[in-house]
Amino acid sequence: MEVQCHPHRYRSILRGSDSPAIHGDIPLEKLYDQLCAGVFLNNRTEKYSVDKESQKNCFMMYARGFTIACSDKRSCWKWVTEEDESSNGVLVEMAELLKKRRLDALGKFEVSNLSRDTTYKVVFVIKLTQSGYGWEDPVNFGVTFPDGTKEERKVNLKEKPKGEWIEIKAGEVSTSECKEGQMEVFMFERGGHWKSGLVFKGVLIRPDN
């Protein structure tokens, strides 16, 4: 296979790979198909892949790598292990909200791992169960950039379909303007209603094609 260019910082990113077999100095030509399929990082809390068409870096941040308020309380959250269809059925952990008034989830990502001169979409991947309730108030989804500025939007989950994975755009990041530092992605709702039935898979960071 002819590889037109080297994916941005791929060797540095692969140092966090869960597979010892690709930690070494392996030629890119031998790694490329695996990079396109996706490589799990940091105990399956992230997945790194390369878009075959654009050869841009893509990432999935799984729920287990987020700070989720009260996720250690069994009365509030349940950690479920399910097959990730985008990863050939590999098992990953997802967080299911059982009962809680306040929803708070925060994740951090190093912007320098994104490909240069590219606009990325930041997208939450969630599912609402059929028995879910309490979503009368809109949920805030957003991104805080390394310079402290924010992009944020409110989404009414009551209008979303139940029982299937849906994508909620939190914002966009342009690596022409934002080249390094940590950005934060967040989801919260702090109203007074008891809430249940949201399954949080993670956040996709992918080129806006």
| Average pLDDT of adjacent 10-residue blocks, the chain of 209 residues | 74 88 75 90 94 94 97 96 81 96 97 97 97 96 96 96 97 93 96 94 93
Q: Could you tell me if residue 1 is inside a domain?
A: no
Q: Could you tell me if residue 42 is inside a domain?
A: yes
User: pLDDT value at position 1?
Assistant: 46
Place of tokens 């993670």: 202
User: pLDDT value at position 167?
Assistant: 97
Domain boundary among the residues 55, 75, 92 is at 55
Same structural domain for residues 49 and 119?
no
Q: Could you tell me if residue 2 is inside a domain?
A: no
CA distance linking residue 167 with residue 185, whole number of Å: 14
Domain that holds residue 135: 59-207
CA distances (Å), origin 79, targets 87, 96, 188: 19, 6, 18
Number of domains in the chain: 2
Same structural domain for residues 100 and 192?
yes
Same structural domain for residues 19 and 88?
no
Same structural domain for residues 22 and 90?
no
User: pLDDT value at position 171?
Assistant: 97
CA distances (Å), origin 186, targets 18, 146, 170, 199, 209: 25, 14, 8, 15, 23
Same structural domain for residues 43 and 72?
no
Same structural domain for residues 65 and 40?
no
Same structural domain for residues 14 and 111?
no
Same structural domain for residues 101 and 172?
yes
Same structural domain for residues 37 and 66?
no
Same structural domain for residues 51 and 69?
no
User: pLDDT value at position 79?
Assistant: 97
CATH number for position 141 = 2.60.120.260
Quote the pTM value: 0.93
User: pLDDT value at position 88?
Assistant: 75
Q: Could you tell me if residue 5 is inside a domain?
A: no
DSSP class of 64: G
Q: Could you tell me if residue 171 is inside a domain?
A: yes
User: pLDDT value at position 85?
Assistant: 77
DSSP bridge pairs for 127: 165, 199
Q: Could you tell me if residue 69 is inside a domain?
A: yes
CA 109-110-111 angle, to 5 degrees, is 105
Same structural domain for residues 28 and 102?
no
Same structural domain for residues 19 and 65?
no
